[in-house]
Structure 1
Amino acid sequence: MSTFDYPVLSRADIISILAESQIAAVTDNDFKNIKPDFVSNLYTRLLIYLDALNEEDQGQFEFSALEQIENPDLLIGSFQIMNLYGRLREVMESLKCPMLFNLRDLVKPDPRRTEHFLSAILNFCLYKFINKKLLHSPLQSGQSNCVISFGVLKTASSFVFLEKLNAEIAGYSEARERELPLVQEVESKVKELHEMICVFNSNQMSLRTSIRNLKEKNGQMDEKISEAEFDLVQSVQENANLRSKIVQSPDKIQDSRKCLEVAIGSFGSSSGWVISDLYYFSLDPVQVGSDLVQRALEEKLARDDAKSAERSAMESFQQKLLLLRSIARMHHEKALKKMSKHFALMQAIQEQVNSAKSVEKECKNMKAKLGDDAVLDKSLEAKLMPKPLAFSFTMKSEVLSKRLELEARQKKVEDVVTEVDSITLKTGMVRESGAAKVQQLISKCEELVKQFQEYSSSIGLLLPVDECGTKQLDSIAITSI
């Protein structure tokens, strides 16, 4: 089955073909200042030439259609335009014209659209004429009653032209074979990039799980820190209560102690004076002594309890401090490992981006080569346009098939270029997400260090103060915090 396409003819070619085929005599000015009457007359002549419209039927209508209108004389022109529009619509649909023909193209025509429709009809005329010339014998085709007088072509020039076309087709085939390894290499690189993207996605999922685990561990550590703070506050409160119990009435205790010492020291030599002094205070000497001894024992027990509570609180604080230091060291080491891993991933992504840029540059070079091939095709088409009948229809179909193959190859290379661009974009997004995650981990480490410093400062404020006015905390633990 023969192929038929619609190359848009230039205005000069349309004028020359219409003049040579004796369809109509038109000028360039008619297309510049195009009018509806000119377009309708030209389409009518073309339909008559294609036997799609009878010249005798022009202006004749059925009585049944005219009876439905009150003044049919006023609408004769509209009837003719609608009849012509219906025939042209059928012709364009049968030719499968890509541009849709509407009523505006007859009433208010556009030069560009009119040239497109005329190119479609004239190409069909040429196609029909070539098939007739191929079917008839050379003697019958050379008779004088032929409607289109394009002249007799020289066989020698046609053979030379065909040889040139064959040579150009062979050159295109060699170029395609030469560029085939490059295309295969680009496809292999694209596959490698796809695999690397899958690896990056898996690494991203693993990083997300590790970040989730770190968040859970941070929550557990915050809970432990809050529990330790609560225990420390309770121990400090108990210590303060014990100290308040010890120092409730220091003046009375000191006076009673002094009286007891004086009474015991002077009891052997001057007992009367001691008794008189005791009577002076209106107290029983035995009862006062027992009370003083009992109070001294209670004070000693309270002091021992306070010291033991303070010692236990200090030991628990040191244990929790060691635990926090070990947890912080562990998280710091994990953060360093993650940061080094992210840095290695960023370097690998940068290398992949550089390779993708090189692949994109190669694709651009291949696209430029294909553009040169397209320019060469257009030049060959320009050479072929002045001589539409210089070679047979079979050779024309072969050239068209080669051109379609070249267009398909160009489309394939363009698809590869777009795929490389998308892969480059994805690698850039992966690199940005990795950098953002690294920055997030760094900020999280700094936040942990800051919280630990604030916690150490708050613990320093809550520690008890001894008699000399110094905090009872190991200096080594404070410097390590």
Structure 2
Amino acid sequence: MEGIRVLRLHKRASAFLESIQFPGFTLRDLLRPDPRRLVQVLSALINFLYYRDDKLALLQPIIHEFPNLDERCMELKAKLAEHQKAIADHELAAQMEEPMVQQLEAEVNSLKQKLVEYNKKQLALRANATAINDKKEETHRKVIAKSDFELVKLAQENSKLLSKIVQSPEKLQRALEEKKTARAELKNAEKIAMQSVQEKTATLEIYSKGYEKLSKHSTKIQALQEQVTATKALEKEVKARKTKISDESVEIMALDTKIIEWDGKVHEMEEHVKAKEKERDQIVADENQKLAALSSEVEWKLKCLEPRERKVEETIAKATKLCAEVDSTRTDAAEELQLIYAKFQQIGHAFTCYKDNFKSFLEQVDEVSKETLESLDRQAVEPLDTSATL
């Protein structure tokens, strides 16, 4: 169970170190840590903590600048949904009223055409009425002038006849005959005048009938004008509705501009955050390069120290062989093994403390590593001394 716990801890630690660009954390680094390797791991962790604190400090003004950004976005989304719903309702109402508007426009156009036709007919009838009135006045003037002329003529003839009257019966008889002939001519002229007057009265009756027809047409035209005024009122109402629709469309356009402005602000914020993320990635890349350079340098130094470690291991192997050959040194070796076991237990205890408190574990590991190195040096030196004494 302890081994499983150690493996899980190693897996979590390696995953975290790989996430901060520090690969290559092995199980040996956890169980038997090398001081230099341990310094590298600690430096990577400390650098990551400093880097995180710096980035959080950089992002803090942005967070303070927009404290309730999520709530504001939710409010704007709710308002946008309300305005979109209002726009949809307005468009639906406009679509529902569009057939009525088209019908009214068609009726208005037909009434306009009828009005133009009736205006043309009215102008023609007025022209005919004026022509008839002119003819009527002209005929009246002619008849009156002719009758006046005939009366004057008759008066002149009467005066002539009176001047021609004489005392002789023959002359009187002749004058009477002439008067009879003149009277017959006057009667004929009167008959002709009466016929002409009758003809004129017939034409006047025809003109009066035409005038009545014109008056009827004028009443119809007035009714049409009333219809035209009603259509104009309908046109005004349609124009008012169109202006209302245009005003609502202007309001919708203003709301669209506000939505675009808010979208632009959100886009600017996203770009600002992306720029900050790019800056963070750049700094992380630079730090990773530095860490890679340091790790390569440390690995090179460790490779240089490997021959010395091999020599120490060879001396330890020789010492163990000498301890196995010499009986007198067995007890000392057993005691030293007990000491090493006790120190190993101390190391295990330090490992458990390492899981609880990382810093204390590192200090204990440093101490234990120093003690183990000293003991190993002593252990390496003592067999050499014993071999020298032998």
Bigger fraction of residues in helix: 2
TM-score by length of 1: 0.39
Which has more radius of gyration?
Answer: 2
TM-score by length of 2: 0.47
